[in-house]
Amino acid sequence: MDTLNAAEILSALGHESRLSIFRLLVEAGPEGINAGAIGERLEIQPATASFHLAHLTRVGLIKGKRESRFIHYSANYETMDDLIAFLTNNCCQGASCLPKTVEVNSVTKRRRAAS
Amino acid sequence: MDTLNAAEILSALGHESRLSIFRLLVEAGPEGINAGAIGERLEIQPATASFHLAHLTRVGLIKGKRESRFIHYSANYETMDDLIAFLTNNCCQGASCLPKTVEVNSVTKRRRAAS
DNA sequence: TCCATTGTTCGAATAGTATCAAAATATATG
DNA sequence: CATATATTTTGATACTATTCGAACAATGGA
């Protein structure tokens, strides 16, 4: 991931509604949630929600899958992973910058080892 | 860190010039670089650079320290760390989202253990 | 086919952001 | 104090983003 690409993704997440949408989709898991439910849950008008969903889709943070009349949106973890890797590699270089993240990852690793 | 705060920091980093400035400051280390040198290095006009430096300072990503006529800017690793922790905790919850980050952290840990 | 439902796209108003020249501020030095 | 240097602030302008009502498109059922 280059700087321009990273900036685009960061910018997409740099809006309260879009960040909330992404968090909601992460919480929802791989089945996803349909557009209407997202708007209802976060109190965003349909047209506005659609605008933000399109934006998040464009930068690859989420994806939509049509299921009859509904479109189920779900998080694209790869893009978020790439972003975190970019920040970790390029924005903490050589610095003592990762105590909290290391702690979190230790938990993640333990969970993986257990499952 | 709450969603609003995280969105502000993400938005601040979501601009190519500001992301480049932050990366440059991370590279530069704790001594920092003065405003003029930052602008020169990234080919940004003084007034524009000052605008972006003020923005990054406002959200706590960098700090400036006057040194005679120069102002030395340096990265605030804590804020970046908090941001990465937020993304790791809130935007990858329960998902297999961290292979690349875990790998990076393993390297970090090894480096720490060696030093 | 007709209608209800779900979601997107369009259009227009509004608000916010980025850029840079010029003026202002701060510091150092002769 | 006058001048040079480093940076910020101001003000004008251009650009981009956000919001939402209304129109449109797609799907499924009576």
Neighbour-count burial of A86, counting CB atoms closer than 10 A to its CB (0-12 exposed, 13-18 middle, 19+ buried) = buried
C-alpha span between A13 and A47 (Å, rounded): 19
One domain, residues B34 and B65 = yes
Count of structural domains within chain B: 2
The residues pairing with B63 across neighbouring beta strands, listed in sequence order, are B74
Average pLDDT score over residue span A16-39: 97
pLDDT band at residue B38 using 50, 70 and 90 as cut-offs:
very high
Closest approach of B42 to chain A, Cα-based (Å): 13
Band (pLDDT 50/70/90 cuts) for residue B75 is very high
A107 pLDDT band (50/70/90 cuts)? Answer: very low
Q: Compute the count of residue pairs across chains A and B with CB atoms less than 8 Å apart.
A: 147
Verify that A9 and A58 share a domain, yes or no: yes
Contact A97 B80 (CB under 8 A): yes
Minimum distance, in Å, between the CA of residue A112 and any CA atom of chain B: 9
pLDDT tens digit string along A57-71? 999 999 999 999 999
**What percentage of chain B exceeds 90 in pLDDT?**
77
Looking at the structure, do residues A42 and A97 belong to the same domain, yes or no?
A: no
| Residues 45-64 (B) with a CB less than 8 A from some CB of A | none
Same domain, yes or no: B84 and B67: no
- Write the CATH number for B24: 1.10.10.10
Give the pLDDT score at B99. Answer: 52
The residues that bridge with B70 in the sheet, in sequence order, are B67
Do B89 and B43 belong to one domain?
no
Nearest CB neighbour to A10, from listed B13, B98, B101: B13
Sheet (strand A70-75) strand order: A33-34, A70-75, A62-67
Q: Hey, which residues 58-97 in chain B have their CB within 8 Å of chain A? A: 75, 77, 80-85, 87-97
**Secondary-structure breakdown of chain B: helix, strand, coil percentages, each rounded to the nearest 5:** 65, 10, 25
Q: Which domain holds residue A101?
A: 78-114
Mean pLDDT of chain B: 86
Q: What is the DSSP string of B7-72?
A: HHHHHHHSSHHHHHHHHHHHHH-TT-EEHHHHHHHHT--HHHHHHHHHHHHHTTSEEEEEETTEEE
By Cβ distance, the residue of B16, B80, B82 closest to A3 is: B16
β-strand partners of B15: none
CB contact (8 A) between residue B22 and residue A91: yes
Residues A71 and A82 placed together within one structural domain of the fold: no
Residue whose structure tokens are 């909330």 = A20
% of chain A at pLDDT higher than 90: 75
